Amino acid sequence: MQTIIATVGISLLTNGNHDDRPWNRDNLPTVDQALAWMLDGTDDADMLGAKLCRISAETNTCWHLDPGTKDRIYLLHSATTEGRLCAEALRPFLHAVYGIPVEIEEISGVDYEVDPNGSPLLELAKIVLKIRRKHAGDNIALAASGGFKAESMMLAVIGQMYEMDVYYIHEQYRELIYIPKLLKAQDTVTTQLPVVPLPDSAIPRDKVSNLSEEEHHRTKNCKAVLRRLLQLPWVEEISPLKSGSAPDNGVKFARLNSSGNHQFAITLFDGHERMYLTVATTGHEDRHREAALIAFRHIISR
């Protein structure tokens, strides 16, 4: 199972400068008003992804992290009126979209006042580690897109210290960034890739890709991503698609193929061209699906 721990900012309130939400920071909505606006149109599966991307940093990150039916989300908000409003509106919305438990936690002391002792950030760390202990054995994903910049920095530090995955989406680029775990030895820094417990495929590596030579170069990042995918012994087939369901430079679980194994949709985007791929794996259990998603995220965002 995946437990997503997300810091909450106020982009739900401030992104209105770019769309039709009926409020601004001088005229804040109630929780019910914000929830009603967020839910409007989400029954259209084809438009859901686009709406999640623009509602807020938190919904955009969740869209990229693709929560499953057995996952859960924690929203950590600041001790401000605006932060509390955003968290209380996002909780029922994310539950409605994904049908999974969503809980909120207030970070005491994190507000617009500067604390030179940094104790509110220690409070953030304590909350994250408390949730980690509570869900020991889960894959913990720290979503650092929302909240104050110092909170994002703290999540990155916690992720490094306790080997938890940290993800970030910059509002301008709209793509998931994986903050790699660093290994330092003799003044050399390398990255630590996840161990994936999927069975190896019997298909030779030179028979896995169905992409033409022209398709290898359709996007600037295609060749590098394809090389990394072919290095995964549990990837069985890589084929092009005319369209896809995954966000730009992201991955989504698509379906079970005819063999009962997991198949994933990947979208590659270099700022000009998009390329859609379907990737079949040997996975067939929930833990395989989750492990493959994490591995694909790391590969695409490198």
Positions in the chain whose pLDDT score sits under 50: none
Residue 92: predicted pLDDT: 98
Q: What is the overall mean pLDDT for the chain?
A: 87
Helix, strand or coil for residue 192? Answer: strand
Residue 153: predicted pLDDT: 92
Q: Pairing between strand 274-281 and 262-269?
A: antiparallel
Residue 156 in tokens:
């990155």
Do residues 144 and 75 lie in contact, with contact meaning Cβ atoms separated by under 8 Å? Answer: no
- pTM summary value: 0.84
Residue 183: predicted pLDDT: 66
Q: Pairing between strand 181-185 and 188-192?
A: antiparallel
Residue 264: predicted pLDDT: 96
Please write the tens of the pLDDT for every residue from 40-60: 988 888 788 888 988 999 999
Q: For residue 2, which amino acid is it?
A: Q
Residue 266: predicted pLDDT: 95
Domains and CATH numbers, the chain: 2-182 (3.40.50.10770), 205-300 (no CATH)
The 3-class SS string of 25-42 reads: CCECCCHHHHHHHHHCCC
Cα separation, 82 vs 74, in Å, equals 18
Please write the tens of the pLDDT for every residue from 99-122: 999 999 999 865 555 555 557 788
Residue 194: predicted pLDDT: 64
Residue 61: predicted pLDDT: 93
Residue 191: predicted pLDDT: 59
Residue 32: predicted pLDDT: 95
Residues 6 or more apart whose CB falls under 8 angstroms from that of 247 comprise 49, 53, 63, 64, 174, 175, 176, 267
Residue 159: predicted pLDDT: 93
Please write the tens of the pLDDT for every residue from 118-163: 577 889 999 999 999 999 999 999 999 998 888 999 999 999 999 8
- Taking every pair of Cα atoms in the chain, the longest distance, rounded to a whole number of angstroms, is 61
